Homo-oligomer: A and B are copies of this chain.
Amino acid sequence: MKGHLVDLSRLVEKEIQQYTFPQKPTNLYDPLRYIMTLGGKRIRPVLTLLGAELFSTPANDAMHAAISVELFHNFTLIHDDIMDEAPLRRGMETVHTKWDQNIAILSGDVLMIKAIQELAKQKPEHVLELLNLFNRTAAEVCDGQQMDMDFEKREDVSIPEYIEMIRLKTSVLLGCALEMGAIIGNASEQDRKLMYQFGQQIGLAFQIKDDILDLYGDPEKFGKQIGGDVISNKKTLLYLTALKDANEAQKIEFLGLEKESNLDKKVDGVKTLFNTLNIREKVSIIMEIHRKYAMEALAAISIEESQKENLRALATYLMEREN
């Protein structure tokens, strides 16, 4: 991130440092102190602050909503990590690994409640609209997570289904974060919807970028193991596109590689096959389509073009990031 985005990100970070959970029961709140200081890009709260600023409202006026979105996001991380049996998050132990599963379930639950509690601190005239948006979005995020789990057991997932899954699991929360800022900035109904659209489309592109980085990221900059999704046979957009475009021989080779126990050989084999099928380019085109949709929504928002620069910069950062 650059310029003003860095300022906002620092503002969020400072606020999170100052946010206090109750002291007791320690087994319930220590995990929350832990996960909230594990870092991360803080993209969602920055979006909320940017959303308010776009409609001439100081970033600080949207801070409770911004923190609420980040608390909710971290709640989803704690519970998703249990469901995925993930040992690590941002290079550190996950909550259910460091404590135990029951503590992870319950501290996740209370974190979601804390998120709503924080949201309710916004100006009373905005709370109901914010809450309705939050609730709808939170339920959709759960729907998306369930679809993701269901996909693991299915062999016939289509690309539109996959896009719908990541829209629910990831993108709607980015749309929600931005629209919350717009609500606090008293934007028109039309502009609020466009902000949501921008966030949602950028969210889709962001998640597709994630899929690409997993295999094509620079090992020195990526920070995680290259090919993690390939190793766990995750049905990413790369995987689904390859399966759709492969001929019979390639399909057999591809499905054979799923069972390969030499992991270097597995990742190299899949990458070679993907290269033959131009998968990176094909998936990048889908990413660009969603970026374009995002830019169209942004263009239609009824504010001065010059004020849109920060959102454009954030979109560029999210598409061109290397980790």
For A135, what are the chain B residues with a Cβ–Cβ distance below 8 Å?
Answer: 113, 116-117, 120
Q: What total of chain A residues lie within 8 Å of the partner, measured CB to CB?
A: 37
For A138, what are the chain B residues with a Cβ–Cβ distance below 8 Å?
Answer: 110, 113
Tell me if A267 counts as interface (CB < 8 A to partner B): no
A128 and B124 contact, Cβ closer than 8 Å, known pairs A83-B102, A105-B83, A146-B27: yes
Tell me if A301 counts as interface (CB < 8 A to partner B): no
- Bound-complex Cα distance A112 to B22 (A): 21
CB-defined interface of A143-175 with B at 8 Å, one 1/0 digit per residue?
A: 101110110000000000000000000000000
Copies of the polypeptide in the assembly: 2
For A277, what are the chain B residues with a Cβ–Cβ distance below 8 Å?
Answer: none
Could you say which of B82, B106, B114 contacts A146, with CB atoms under 8 Å apart? Answer: B106
What is the distance, in angstroms, from A94's C-beta to the closest C-beta of chain B?
A: 14
A132 touches B120 (CB 8 A): yes
- Bound-complex Cα distance A247 to B34 (A): 44
- Bound-complex Cα distance A120 to B114 (A): 17
CB-defined interface of A81-103 with B at 8 Å, one 1/0 digit per residue?
A: 01100000000000000000011
What is the distance, in angstroms, from A79's C-beta to the closest C-beta of chain B?
A: 6
For A295, what are the chain B residues with a Cβ–Cβ distance below 8 Å?
Answer: none
A114 touches B139 (CB 8 A): yes
**Closest residue to A110 on the B side, CB-wise?**
B142
- Bound-complex Cα distance A278 to B79 (A): 45
What is the distance, in angstroms, from A183's C-beta to the closest C-beta of chain B?
A: 15
A120 and B113 contact, Cβ closer than 8 Å, known pairs A28-B143, A146-B27: no
Tell me if A297 counts as interface (CB < 8 A to partner B): no
State the 7 A-B residue pairs at the shortest beta-carbon distance, nearest first: A110-B142, A28-B146, A25-B146, A83-B102, A117-B135, A113-B138, A113-B139
